[in-house]
Chain A
Amino acid sequence: AQKVTQAQTEISVVEKEDVTLDCVYETRDTTYYLFWYKQPPSGELVFLIRRNSFDEQNEISGRYSWNFQKSTSSFNFTITASQVVDSAVYFCALSEVGDDKIIFGKGTRLHILP
């Protein structure tokens, strides 16, 4: 069965610090997708990234970067030089190809303090 674990319930850091959000997943399939979504205070979830299980290259997008390691079943998300606008709940999610369902972790609430 699919499962996504985000062990960090809540994190607070001071602005400009780097912060890493952890995500560990479980799946029996060899082909799957991993996602990160952001939920700002306004409430609407916003897609950040999708990776497929065959692509372990790390990805960088501005201050955001993602580290995918199949050996540890992890897909961690790092924000470099955090800003107050990064304050949100971040969700990691998993989907097995052909299953359609996207299963979300419980989220990590990130507070960036000015």
Chain B
Amino acid sequence: DAGVIQSPRHEVTEMGQEVTLRCKPISGHNSLFWYRQTMMRGLELLIYFNNNVPIDDSGMPEDRFSAKMPNASFSTLKIQPSEPRDSAVYFCASSRDRGSTGELFFGEGSRLTVL
């Protein structure tokens, strides 16, 4: 079975541009998580969904960030407008169970560089 699929793997963009990161979770998984990884802050949970519904977005840095999950097999994380401090690796993860009890399966990450 395919794992969690993220795209793009790498994105370089200029400040002010819109960035959209995509994620396809593992089929049958009910929970989806977006994490951001930086050297300074480590792995930060941005938002998570259960059965396509956003449950907690308290980790989303500010209004420039938004996430959607229109169906069980697709999610997007959008940054508009992007800023250099958004440069990070963004991971999507899915879980069969609700996150607190289940193993998270991570994608390979999307490395974002904002110039």
Contact = CB atoms under 8 A, between A and B. Distances in A.
Interface of A: 33, 35, 37, 42-47, 50, 91, 95-107
Nearest to B45: A101
Nearest to B98: A100
A47 B105 contact: yes
Q: Contact size class for B?
A: 20 to 34
Main secondary structure of the interface of A (DSSP, over half): loop
Contacts of B42: 91, 104-107
Given A101-B48, A101-B56, A106-B42, A96 B103 contact: no
11 contacts: A43-B109, A45-B106, A47-B104, A100-B50, A100-B56, A100-B100, A101-B100, A102-B104, A104-B43, A105-B42, A106-B41
B12 interface: no
B100 A96 contact: yes
A44 B56 CA distance: 24
Nearest to A44: B108
